Structure 1
Amino acid sequence: MDAEQLRPLEAGPGLALRPWSWLLRGLHVGRLRVDGAGGRGFTATGAEAGPEAQILLHRPLNLLNRVMRRGAMGFAEGYMAGEWESSDLTTLLTLAARNEAALGRASEGGRLARWRETLSHRTRANTRRGSRRNIAAHYDLGNDFYRLWLDPTMTYSAALYAPGEDNLAAAQRHKYQRLLRQLDARPGDHILEIGCGWGGFALEAARCGYRVTGITLSREQLAWARRRVAEAGLSDRVDLQLRDYRDLEGAWDHVVSIEMFEAVGEAWWPTFFGTVGRCLRPGGRAALQVITIDESVFDDYRRGADFIQRYIFPGGMLPSITAFRERAGEAGLRVSSLDRFGHDYARTLQSWHRRFLDVLPRVREQGFDDRFIRMWRYYLSYCTAGFQTGRIDLIQTTLEHPDG
């Protein structure tokens, strides 16, 4: 970006923005309007067309200090602390993602801070005790919280939208039906669901004539799901348990796992795939829905910890598609199909975000403060930006034993 593309700043309070004008000379794609609390500002324009975003810096020097020390994590923490705002948070984070490489150190932060985050992430390892703690940290925020902004199926994973479909609950059921078709199951078959959540898939499968054993580590989810199953009169077909996947014994006709693999942790990927292979009867299929990360950033990602791992899903780890295939193969499982649905996840997240904003007064009534609300909004926008730029993706995949 040429110096001429930055509008000169006036003297006075606008001086606090001058370090930002220098930092944003590295902008390569899109346009960013930067405003200070005193009304002064500038526009940074990249050489390539792209997202056009706006940011209001309430405390520009405080935020600059955070970013130089902690990179992208500091930028997120500055938002949580109220040091900046944007009229369109998702577009701003999409712009940032498109310029991640060009901004260099501003997105990386200091080595010491990165080392500390990595160390903190590793202390949240998914041992049996660690998994219970990590799952509770996110999913046991309370059923009443999640029911405010999830759809009536209480599904907390990406929906798959049929052409012309705009109803979130219908798109969630479409996702469940596609997974069932991937199994090629017969009526009466017994399906193991690893990570049953609030029971959405189990109920859908039971209504289609299948039997389901579902497991979860969340007591909050389990209580809710069991009640839903009983109220639907399907307790004879659905058995939901508080159980770690590593403690499973027995075999099932098919296995389903929807966005649970991300919570396993890289060290336990072989154990997870080994469990799936052991629990899957000959001739059966496993259908998984998994968030993946782009191959080009996987190595850097796995050596550190990002905002999601620090604040939202402790202990989490996304695989690249190559890593997923390789670990499955090492466990004797063959990937027989793989389809991508990243844009469906972006659309799902946008729906969740709108619903969340619509119920903010009720969120506050439940005791969640402004810092939490800003963290949650950042989480939803951060993930949306990731799917829109392709840094992360969503796959539905089918696994089988090679001998069928």
Structure 2
Amino acid sequence: MSSQPPIILQRGAALPALPWSLRLLTRILARAEYGQLELRLPDGREMHVRGRRPGPQATLVLHRPRLIGRLLTGGDTGLLESYVDGDWESPDLTRFLLWGAANEACFGGVADGFVLWRALRTLYHWRHRNTRTGSRRNIAAHYDLGNDFYALWLDSTMTYSSALFASETDTLETAQVRKYQRLIDQLEIGAGHRVLEIGSGWGGFAIQAARQTGCQVTSVTLSAAQLEEARRRAWRAGVADRIRFELMDYRDLSGHYDRIVSIEMFEAVGEQYWPDYFRQVHDLLKPRGRAGIQVITIEEKRFQDYRKSADFIQRYIFPGGMLPSPERFFDQAEDAGLELVDVKTFGKDYARTLACWDGAVHRQSHALAELGYDARFQRLWHAYLCYCEAGFTTGRIDVMQAILARD
């Protein structure tokens, strides 16, 4: 660390003599109006960006100046790619991303990247659309990383979706069970019901519903790894006779069910197939049946820009993924003949869930390395979890449970 006092960067202030790439970076950062940023340069010098308005306080430790080129060409995706490659770091990545989000408008579209780069990301996203073959490939890319991998940092219910917290003292497991319980209660699932779950996960909801209510559950997934573990967990829980897990695309389902549950699977459907999904939910429900769908959403005002190009999550974490805005979700459901009965949003709970997961991943760093997940992969996963946590904290994305009814 330099013994010299830090250089103060503010809009309109004179900039120090620096190489062109660092000069460009500091010129952009100096536009910030909110919060404070401590910037540490590769040569040890420190600069402090001081906004005129209150906001997050964060730190950026720069290792390689090529960050600026990747930011300008790739926008926020380029920024995170640069982080994964070790060009920079931050002692609190979520806080840095929150600082960036607070000042996004000040940076004049830098987060968007070059038009050509956005076009290439759009082409990548199109190639990963969710046809039947594409869906199987996209799901395998994420969920078949290995049950051992997820078991290291998920809670004991093996739940990979937002928890629902009631107090500061709730454990993650308690909050996950509460999330399932709310769906069971809102849908009034009973012993005589046939329940369909679209997207099994590792069986958490199906096991809780069958054990608690005595209902019969059919649960479908496209992940072979999840299927194997879900069946094993149902057998251990003593409810294997009440749950049928199947490797099947939701589009191939038939029959009629009293209740349908789908927890954070809709994000993998793809915009092109949203009408098919809702028609299938409608047709599979018995008259006066109900469906409970938990889904991540994006603000309507951001949806048009979001849908034009694959972001960091779509590029590296969930190929083929697509978030709806609440308005588009409700419109599609209504078009299929489904009536909205109840909705609950709890995005701040997802931010807390992600923070719990990120902490667990960090604590299991050595064990992950022993499984073959190297430092670069772990930086990718850290970036993914922090990026999402920042999104839910700011409200740019949210999560909701929507209860839909068929006449």
TM-score (norm 1): 0.96
Aligned length: 399
Identify the match of residue 278 of structure 2 among 257, 273, 279: 273
**In the aligned structure 2, how far is the partner of 1:216 from the partner of 1:148?**
22
Q: Which runs of 5+ in 1 are unaligned?
A: none
Inter-partner Cα distance in structure 2 for 1:157 and 1:3: 41
1:293-372 to 2 correspondence within 5 Å? Answer: 293-372=298-377
Matched position secondary structure for 1:155 = coil
Deviations 1:142-167 (A, max 9, x none): 00000000000000000101234421
Runs of at least 4 residues off by over 4 Å = 2-12
| Paired position in structure 2 for 1:81 | 85
Q: Show the counterpart of 2:201.
A: 197
- Alpha-carbon distance in 2 for matches of 1:4, 1:396: 43
**Deviation (angstroms), 1:102:** 2.2
| CA distance in structure 2 between the aligned counterparts of 1:246 and 1:165, rounded to whole angstroms | 41
Superposition pairs of residues 1-400 of structure 1, within 5 angstroms: 4=10, 11=17, 17-60=22-65, 62-208=66-212, 209-400=214-405
1:152 maps to amino acid: S
Identity among equivalent pairs (%): 51
Q: In the TM superposition, what whole-angstrom CA distance separates every residue of 1:282-318 from its partner, at most 9, and x where no partner exists?
A: 1111001100001110111011110000000000000
Report if aligned partners of 1:165, 1:171 keep a CA contact under 8 Å in 2: no
Q: Distance in 2 between matches of 1:173 and 1:68?
A: 43
Residue type of the partner of 2:218? T
Tell me: CA distance 1:18–1:73, structure 2 relative to 1, closer, same or farther (3 Å): same
Distance 1:191 1:90 in 2: 38
The 3-state SS of whatever aligns with 2:320 is: coil
The CA deviation string for residues 302-357 of structure 1, in whole angstroms up to 9 with x for no partner, is: 11110000000000000000000111111111111111100100000000000000
Structure 1: distance between partners of 2:73 and 2:167: 46
In structure 1, what residue type is equivalent to 2:400?
Answer: I
CA distance in 1, matches of 2:23, 2:301: 33
**Distance of 1:41 and 1:400 partners within structure 2:** 58
Distance, in Å, in 1 between the alignment partners of 2:233 and 2:179 is 19
Instruction: Give the match's secondary structure for 1:316.
Output: coil
SS in 1 for 2:77: helix
State the partner residue of 2:3: none
> How far apart are the structure 2 equivalents of 1:286 and 1:101?
39
- Deviations along 1:100-139, one digit per CA (max 9) or x if unpaired, are 2221232011110000001110100000000000000000
Distance in 1 separating the partners of 2:104 and 2:291:
36
Secondary structure at the counterpart of residue 150 of structure 1: coil
Aligned counterparts of 1:23 and 1:236: Cα–Cα separation in 2: 61
**Aligned to 2:287, what secondary structure does the other structure show?**
coil
Which whole-Å CA distance do the structure 1 matches of 2:122 and 2:115 have between them? Answer: 10
What TM-score results when the alignment is normalised by the length of structure 2? Answer: 0.95
SS at match of 2:30: helix
What is the letter of the counterpart of residue 81 of structure 1? D
d(CA) in 1 for partners of 2:372, 2:44:
34
Q: Distance in 2 between matches of 1:285 and 1:101?
A: 42
Q: Is the contact made by 1:160 and 1:344 (CA closer than 8 Å) also made in structure 2?
A: yes
**Cα shift readout 1:56-78 (whole Å, capped 9, x = no counterpart):** 11012x11111111111110110
**Contact 2:33–2:53 (CA under 8 A) maintained in structure 1:** yes
Cα distance in 2 for residues equivalent to 1:339 and 1:73: 30
Verify the 8 A CA contact 1:9 1:42 in the aligned structure 2: no
Instruction: Please give the alpha-carbon distance, in whole angstroms, between the structure 2 residues aligned to 1:153 and 1:122.
Output: 34
Shift of 1:7: 7.5
- Structure 2, unmatched stretches of 5+, are 1-7
Q: In the aligned structure 1, how far is the partner of 2:283 from the partner of 2:62?
A: 54
